[in-house]
Structure 1
Amino acid sequence: MFGGSQHVTITGGNFTEVQGDANHYHIKGNYHNHNTEVGLHILSQATSLGAIHDSSERFPPPKCHPDTRHEVIRIVMRWIEDDDPDSSIFWIYGPAGAGKSAIAQSLAELIQASRSSYGGSFFFSRGKLGRDQAHHLFTTIAYQLAFHNATFREHLNQILYENPTLPTKPINMQMQTLIVEPLAKLNGLLDSAPVIIIDGLDECNGHEAQQLILNVIAEALRKSRTSLRFLVASRPEAHIRETFDSDQLYTMTRRLVLDESFDPNKDIEIYLKDGFDRIYEEHKQFMTDIEKPWPSYGVIDLLVQKASGQFIYAATVLKFVGEEYYRPNKQLDIVLQPTPRRSTVFPDLDALYTQILLTCPHRASLLVILGTILTFHCPQLPEVIEDIFHMERKEVNLVLRSLRSLVRIPGIECRGSQQGEEAEGEDDKGLRFYHASFHDFLVDEDRSGPFYINLEEFRSKFTTSGFQVISRFMPATFRK
């Protein structure tokens, strides 16, 4: 700003720097002209700019390593570039820590680079002011759409000028008046359908709000034939699955689960190797006596197995090992310690697990179920646990309802399984953890706190309950 100026004195005032042409520009400061765009100024007060993919609040954002996730990104980009897809919504889902946000971030950057397809983004984040509420979603999306199409912007500004209360209305009305109606004015002027990215839907405050968002989107697409596409990323929580499986959403949604079919172990290996190479170079003064390759291939393989397809595990390891003012080799030794006393190593991972476990209102039954999964050496059916601990039928499924991102539950999957979704084989008919790191968390009291499971005590309890079950089926003469 003021490039080349000399001998300038300025007292007071506000300044906005705009770079580029009127339709595609980067703005520092305010995002509109207060005098001529009163409507947009009103809207700006009801948006959450920190939820946009390239906001400073999210910097540095998680995103895919350039040599990973190629197949997932290729599938989504092919859907975006399809002029006539059979679905207007694309749902990416997977267990906690599977890398959904990183994929959404990378896709947002790719789509924005194409200019013609990017409509906007909203990255929910639990507990972050403005980023965990449904009523900020569509106002923020509308605000972004206004800066990618001048005609949309003009109509939206006029709508808000005539009714400045619209940002305070229910979200279904926001969707209709702030997005659908301005888009209808374009009359086929768009080169391609704008793509809206919504990440972390499960982190929006309230199950009802999450379901309402999906139903509002589906209703708008169904009734208006709006030229929009929505990419939604979330955990496979029960209420979200059920909403996507409803008749209204089922026919307009394509699904992709981040499972083993995309070979996440290979991507995690690449990510770890590159990360450790970077750490080695950044800490060369401490690594002069450490021979390369560091770490060894065996250690990399061990960490890949421990990750169990969980990118957050790999990211947490690299973050801990690469801490400033510490020797990386010593930090790695702590990670590899066989003892469970490593409470300082995985704070991010522990917070994630604790956050999910706290959503379950049946803590006593939950600990019994988790302890049983830990005790058995092979997956067991829910009915086995219900018999052993005198639970009612379907109680295990009820207790684990909010933990589907951590525990694989047999027979629970979305309608219309497609390639890349869960396929249940003979080895998958029992309860099991998605991540080996969840096992380590539960048996470490320093890490899991109220969710700690003492395996020795639980095995004793399990044995007692097991004998009681056996005795019920023994002839009376054997019980004397």
Structure 2
Amino acid sequence: MHRHPAKSGPHPDKWGASPPIINDIKEFIARAGEPGCLRLAWISGPAGAGKTCIQRSVAEECLAGTILGGSFFFGRDSGRDIADGLIATLAHQFCSAVPGFREAVLRKIALDISIFSKSLLVQLQRLIFDPLEDIGEPHEWIQPKVVIVDGLDECRDTAQRKQAIHLLHALTQHSTFPFCVIVSSRPELDILTTFAEEPVQPDMRRFLLYRYDSDEDILFYLVEEFLRIRKTHPAGHTLPATWPTREVLEMLVKMASGQFIFISTIVNYVGNGNRHPGTLLTNVLSAISTPKRPVAALPSPFADLDALYTQILSVSSIDRLLLRLVLHAIPEIWRIVETNSLLTESGGPELGPSPLMLDTFFGLLPGTTNIILSQLSALIHVPNQHQTETHGPAYIRFYHKSMEDYLKAPERSGDLFQSEGDTVAQFTIAAIQNLQRWSHTLGSPSGDCGAAFGALYLCLRFTWAHIPTQYDLTISELEAATDAKLENILRFDFTILLGWILLYGRRLWSQPNDMLNHLKPQNTSLKGLRNRWLRPISKGVKILHTCDPIALPAPEDKVSTVM
């Protein structure tokens, strides 16, 4: 069992000081204990609308009022993008929130220690409903208690998202469960459909963020966060109590146009402990007042956000070519490892975009990626050395998808723009170089993540057709590559990749020979690529199909997977 706690966020001193939506949620919680009232709520709104900020505020207020039963915050990082631990986490938190629950649930676990490997539905019955029934009448603790589940859309498996909604609905309908449940997510089609269907829809209240005055919420958030910076920043004592002025706050609210992502990026940037917050706020105000457009164009709805991104990314001490390489590499690596997670559940080498992974794959000096990203913490999560040493590999992520959208548009990102074709060619050449180097050593994937990712990349990008993924992994972009890049690619001996699959395919796929059934070269107008690269693989596949998978070398060690 493990916790998914709410991170720090805006924390009003009392309910009455909160924005309107939190006041409405407060009223919903207060009435949830009354007979016949709804006990399931869904907060829905687009990306960047402030859903997580709202949930964190509610969680902190409920915790202060001793009515928080439990919370589960989904996230994009590995381990928080699945629902496997949802019920166990809530049961663990109920041990502190519900008198007598700890003893009751421990008795259930003692009867079946394999319970955590059972289905979520079985866990719901045995870890929550059965212990609550054993406790009997709740008596004094039957006050409105709250369970918060945030970021359901971050759960990557749509089937798990649907199951989670039905489980949470079942919780609120059970006679022994004295809690209300508040879920937040983007209105993804599968989530929207599940909430709109029987039996969930009649028992659920929906909070639509667009119906609220987001300007008031954003102003409230800014006041709280700038107060926190004045109190906690090393230079905070030098800031006057009137910093920032009311005029500055109102200008920021106007510039945000309802986008919490714009405001949270500013707060992250200004709160950077390495520089004076007053100077950083001045930089922000200058950037959004006189934005430098990379390309002359009509006014863009993202102009202010783009100006902020451009300001933060304009670090003179960083090599722009290396910065562009790393920025475009991050989402490309995630596309590959997340696609592979659809194909296998086996453990494998750690291939997510860690600083070590990027340095190794692109042949950079150790520490280069950390240096490049060291001043971009307002936009990008970069694991520090302590996290890596104590918790194993951690991965680089953009805080918001708008960053990737910015990089994909030349009129927005200027010299940091890179076409998808250039990215694919860059990765393909790096994959080839890593596999060619590997062919001289035949090293294990656990000691050569560059070759392991190179093999995975070439398989997914070039030889697996019709993969059920949200990403477009076709190779049509290579048709615009330069002759020199294509020649480097066409010279590669594809049998090296087949050799890697033969030796270590089990490290990427639980049934490597079964996976080879999907190895079907993609269509391409590049005759050289078809004749010299893709067609020969069909012969190699036939040979590999004759191999007994039991005879393949087993992994030397069990390595956790990013997938």
Q: 1:120: which partner in 2?
A: 70
Structure ranking higher in helix proportion: 2
Cα 1:244–1:346, aligned 2, differ >3 Å: closer, same or farther? Answer: farther
Q: Residue deviations 1:80-103, cap 9 Å, x none?
A: 222235212111111112221121
- The equivalent of 2:105 in structure 1 is 156
Distance in 2 (alpha carbons) for counterparts of 1:180 and 1:284: 49
CA contact (8 A) 2:266 2:284 kept: no
In the TM superposition, what is the alpha-carbon distance from 1:330 to its structure 2 partner?
3.4
Q: Which structure has the higher relative contact order (CA within 8 Å, separation 6+)?
A: 1
Matching residue of 2:292: 339
Displacement after TM superposition at 1:225 (Å): 6.2
SS of equivalent to 1:92: strand
TM-score of the two chains, using structure 2 as the length reference = 0.48
Output the amino acid matched with 1:184: E
Please tell me whether the aligned partners of residues 88 and 253 of structure 1 are also in contact (alpha carbons under 8 angstroms). Answer: yes
CA change 1:69–1:235 in 2 (3 A) is farther
- How far is 1:122 from its partner? 0.9
Cα distance in 1 between the residues matched to 2:49 and 2:168: 25
Superposed, which structure 2 residues align to 1:286-365 within 5 Å? Answer: 297=247, 300-323=249-272, 324-325=274-275, 327-328=279-280, 329-340=282-293, 342=307, 343-345=309-311
Q: Deviations over 1:355-387 (max 9, x none)?
A: 8xx99xxxxxxxxxxxxxxxxxxxxxxxxxxxx
Report the counterpart of residue 128 of structure 2 in structure 1.
Answer: 179
The match for 1:366 is none
Tell me if 1:81 matches 2:30.
Answer: yes
Residue deviations 1:53-74 (CA, integer Å, cap 9, x gap): 3xxxx4xx22355596432222
| Deviation per residue, 1:131-185 (Å, 9 max, x gap) | 2221111101001101222322221111100111111111111111101111122
- Measured after TM superposition, the shift of residue 124 of structure 1 is 1.1
CA contact (8 A) 2:71 2:147 kept: yes
Would the alpha carbon gap of residues 334 and 278 (structure 1) be closer, same or farther in structure 2, given more than 3 Å must change?
A: farther
Distance 1:112 1:128, change over 3 A: same
Within the alignment, does 1:90 sit opposite 2:41 as a pair?
yes
- Amino acid of the structure 2 residue aligned with 1:125: G
- Tell me the distance in 2 between the aligned counterparts of 1:451 and 1:98: 29
2:43 aligned counterpart, secondary structure: strand
- Equivalent of 1:214 in 149, 159, 165: 165
Counterpart of 1:141, as a letter, is L
Q: Which runs of 5+ in 1 are unaligned?
A: 1-46, 360-434, 453-480
Matches within 5 A, 1:74-473: 74-82=23-31, 83-84=34-35, 86-115=37-66, 117-129=67-79, 131-189=80-138, 190-222=141-173, 226-259=177-210, 261-272=211-222, 297=247, 300-323=249-272, 324-325=274-275, 327-328=279-280, 329-340=282-293, 342=307, 343-345=309-311, 442=409, 443-446=411-414
Say if 2:3 is the partner of 1:63: no
The count of residues paired between Structure 1 and Structure 2 equals 310
Q: Which amino acid aligns with 2:285?
A: L
Partner AA of 1:338 in structure 2? P
Q: Deviations over 1:316-342 (max 9, x none)?
A: 123324443352323432343322455
Which stretch shifts more, 171-180 or 327-336? 327-336
TM-superposed CA distance for 1:77, in Å, is 1.7
Alpha carbons of structure 1 residues 250 and 314: separation in structure 2 relative to 1, 3 Å:
same
Shift of 1:267: 3.2
- Counterpart code for 2:63: Q
Bigger mean CA offset, 218-227 vs 324-333:
218-227
Of the structure 1 ranges 81-90 and 157-166, higher mean CA displacement relative to structure 2 is found in: 81-90
Cα–Cα, structure 1 residues 294 and 158, in superposed 2: closer, same or farther, change >3 Å?
closer
For 1:180, give the aligned amino acid: F
Output the TM-score relative to the length of structure 1: 0.56
Residue pair 1:183, 1:227 contacting (<8 A) in 2 also:
no
SS in 1 for 2:184: strand
User: Which SS does the other structure have where 1:251 is aligned?
Assistant: helix
Distance, in Å, in 1 between the alignment partners of 2:236 and 2:104 is 58
For 2:412, give the aligned amino acid. D
Q: What is the aligned-residue RMSD (CA, Å)?
A: 3.7
**Structure 2 segments unaligned to the other structure (5+ residues):** 295-306, 314-326, 336-400, 422-563
